[in-house]
Structure 1
Amino acid sequence: MTVGRGLMEAQSTRFGALDPLLPPAAEPPDGDVITAALTDGSRVAGVLSRHLHEPGALARLWSADEVWELTPLIGGSGLAGMDAVLRAWRRRLDRLGEPGPDSSCVVTWPSRDAEGTRALLDHGLVPLSTIAVRRAAPPANSVPTTLTIREAAPRDLDVVVDLAMAELAYSALVGATVQRPEAADLKRAALRERLQAGGLVWLAERDGIAVALAECALSESTPGSWIASRLPLGRWGYVNCVSVLPGARGAGVGQQLMAHVHRELHRRGAIGSYLYYNPPNPLSSVFWIRQGYRPLWTVWEVRPAGALR
C-alpha cells in the first residue's frame, strides 16, 4: 500500500540524525492504514498488522498468540506525531472489540528517539526487547580462556537443549519470553535441525562438562530484505541464544565464549553482530553492553493488547 512519500523521507532524515547506524525508513508492510491530524494541520500515519501464531509455532515462545503490530509513519514530528498515531491506534482497537488475553500491541522504534520513548511510555508500552549491535572487530589480544570451546554436533542435542531451556526459563521471568507447555519440544525440534544442518552452535566446557551455549547464525542484509530495515547492508552475525549455567555465572564464562564467537563470526566475513536482549533482565542488560553491544532498536510491547492506553 502506498503511503505519503514525504513522511517516509522526513522519517529517514530523522532516523539519520538520531543514529548513524539506522538504515533509511523502510516501506511499511501491508496492513490497515490509520491516520491522525496534528495541531499544525499536518498528518501522520501508521500501518497496523495483525499476526496470529497457531499452536506449535516457534514464535509463541517469545510472542503472544495474537499480535497487533504498528509501523509508525510520523516523519519528523517527534513526540506529537507518535502520540497522535498511538491515540488513533487505541481508537481503532476500541472499534474492533477487546482482544483476547493472549495478545499484545508491539512497536519497534529507534532506541535513541527520546521523544518517541516518552509517547510510547505514556500509552502503556514497555521496552521488553532491544535489538543491539556490535561493530568493533575482535581485539588482537584474545581473552585468556580457562575453557574448552568447540562447535556442537548432533550428538550434543540433549545438552544443547538443556542449556537453551535454562535460558528460556530465566528470560520468561524478566522479558518477552513465554514459558509454553510445548517449549521443550519446540526447542528440541528447532535445535535438532540446526545441529544437523551444521549451524553455528558453540559449547563451552569445563572439565568435560558443558557449562555454556552460544547459538548463532549469519544474516545477509541486502536491499529489500527484512534485515535491511533494521541494519546497514552487509553480512551480520546473529547471536540468537547465549546460556550459562547458573552455577558457572560470574566467572567470565560468557565473556570467554563470546570472545571466541566474535572471532569466528568475523572470520566468516561478518561486519558486525546483533542480538535481542531484554532491558528488564538484570544479567543480559549489563553483560551485552560490556561485550561492546549497544541499543539500536527497541521493541515496545503491552500485553494484553487491550491494555494500550
Structure 2
Amino acid sequence: MARDLLHPPKARPGDRIAVLSPSFAAPGFAPALHEQAMRRLAEVTGLVPVEYPTTRRLGASAQDRAADVNAAFADPAVRAIVASVGGEDQITVVPHLDASLALADPKPFLGTSDNTNLHQWLWSVGIASFYGGSTQVHLGPGPGVDAVHAASLRAALLDGGRLEITDPGESEDVGKDWNDPLALTEYGDREPTEPWSWSGPARIVTGPTWGGCLEALQWVLTAGRLREPPEALAGGVMLLETSEELLPAREVGWIVRSLGERGLLAAVDAVLVARPPVSDFERRPDAAQRAALRAAQREVVAEQVARYNPDAVLCVGIPFGHTRPQWILPHGGPVTVDGVERRVYADYS
C-alpha cells in the first residue's frame, strides 16, 4: 500500500519562514544575491525570513547544519522552512536530525537538488514536503521572480489548491555568476523549450509523488535510507531530475535501471522527468548539440521505464528541478498525470 503521510498546515502572511543552508551556504558566498532573495521572498509570500547560524556560514559542520534544521522544526514561531540552495554533502547531515521534532510540529519544507536527502528523510518519517525552491537560484537572480515559481511558491507555503503545471516556453540551464552585479538584474541565457514527450498508455493517473534529484537518490539508496518496500510507492508518481553535474545519458540510464531492479519503477503508475540542464559556465554546446543531449537522456529514461513498467504513463520535459523557470511540486502529495489530454496537475494542499 502507498505510504500515508502527514501534510503540514500552511503558513499565514506575517509568519516566520526559516531560510537554511543544509548543504552549501550559498548566502555566505554571494550575500548581495541572498539579500535580494530575502526581500523577494517577503514580497511574494508576506512571510518573514529568519536566518540561522549556518545559513551564511561557509564550511559549517554537518552537526551544526543539522542543529539548525532541528531548531527550525522546534521553534513554534517558524511555520515553514526553505533551503537556500543544494550542494553535495547533505547525506552527512541526515544522521544528526531529530525526527521527533519534525513530527511534533510538521512544517512545509521546500528545497531541490541535494535537498533530496531531506525530502527522503521527511518521507521516511511520514511527512510530505515540496520538491523545489532555492532562494539563491529562483528568488535572488534576475529582474524578478518567474510567474510559475511565484505561483507554486505561494501554493506550497500559503494557499494550497490545485494548479496545472504548464510550460513557460523558455528555460535557462545556468544564470549569471552570482558575484557578477548583472546577476541582480539579468536572467541567464534562456532558450525556447521543446514540447514535453509523452509515452506509455493513454490513461489518467493520480497519486502521491516520490523522488528527487537522480544523483542524490542514488546516494540515499546506497546509504540504505529507503527502508520501506517498493510497495510503499504503489500507485504513485515518480519525480526524476538531473543536476548541473551534466551526467552522460548512459549514466542516467544506469541509475534509472537500478531503480527498476529495486522494484521502484514497477510500483508507480506514472513517471515525470524534468527538463535536464545540458550546459554550464564552462560547457556550452551549440543549440543542436544541446537538443541532442536532452533527447539522449529522454530516450534512455523512456527505454528503462518501458522495460520495467510498460503500464506507466511517462512525461519528460517538465520544468522542475535544475531549470529556471521552475515549478515547485509536491513530494508525497497528489499529482495528476493525464496521459489522455496530456496535462499535469499538482495538489498543494
| TM-score normalised by structure 2 residue count | 0.27
| TM-score normalised by structure 1 residue count | 0.29
